[in-house]
Structure 1
């Protein structure tokens, strides 16, 4: 998981200027743990399925 402290200023700026929640700001920055993990799982599954079809 990405250290949120590294991005805290960007998160705060997005929250202030856009009026969004902290989780929404993290998603906008692409550092949301749930979003990133789910996306990586989906990409890995697609890659593995592609390998099995090549045989």
Structure 2
């Protein structure tokens, strides 16, 4: 994960001026939070398990 403190001003501006949530602002900047990355990892692992069990 990228240090969000480096982008906090940009995040705040997007939230203030565009009315985005902090998560939406981070997504617009291409910054992912740990929860989002972890969710993607779990989904990928589940997909692989599904492929193996089908064989």
SS in 1 for 2:6: helix
Report the Cα offset of residue 15 of structure 1.
Answer: 0.3
- Count of aligned positions: 39
TM-score by length of 1: 0.60
SS in 2 for 1:16: helix
**Residue segments in structure 1 that go unaligned for 5+ positions in a row:** 43-55
Which protein has greater RCO, CA pairs closer than 8 Å, 6+ apart? 2
RMSD of aligned Cα (Å): 2.0
Distance in 2 (alpha carbons) for counterparts of 1:20 and 1:32: 15
Which position in structure 1 is the counterpart of 2:2? Answer: 2
SS in 2 for 1:13: helix
Distance in 2 (alpha carbons) for counterparts of 1:26 and 1:7: 9
Report the Cα offset of residue 21 of structure 1.
Answer: 0.3
TM-score by length of 2: 0.60
